[in-house]
Amino acid sequence: MKTIPTFLPPVATLLLAVTTSLAQAAGYETSANNSGHYQAPSLAQQRADVAAMVAQSARHETHSPLIYKVMIDRLERDFGNKGNYSQFEGQAYIGTDTNKLWLKGEGKRLGGKTEDADIEAYYSHAIAAFWDAQIGMRHDFSAGSIPSRNWLGFGVQGLAPYKFDTSATAYVGNEGRTALRLSSEYDFFITQRLIFWPGVELNLYGKNDPERNIGRGLADSRLVLRLRYEIRREIAPYVGIQWTNKYGQTASYARTNGEATSDMQLIAGLRLWW
pLDDT above 90 (res 168): yes
Question: What is the spatial distance between Cα 119 and Cα 149, in angstroms, rounded to a whole number?
Answer: 11
Q: Which pLDDT tens digit goes with each residue over 202-231?
A: 999 999 999 999 999 999 999 999 999 999
| Tens-digit pLDDT profile for residues 133-153 | 999 999 999 877 889 999 999
Instruction: Record the pTM.
Output: 0.75
Residues 6+ apart with CB under 8 A from 23: 29, 30, 38
Domain spanning 69-273: CATH 3.40.640.10: no
CB burial readout 69-101, b (16+ within 10 A) else e? eebbbbbbebebeeeebbbbbbbbbebeeeebe
> CA-to-CA distance for 204 and 170, rounded, in angstroms?
9
Residue ranges of domains in the chain: 8-62, 69-273
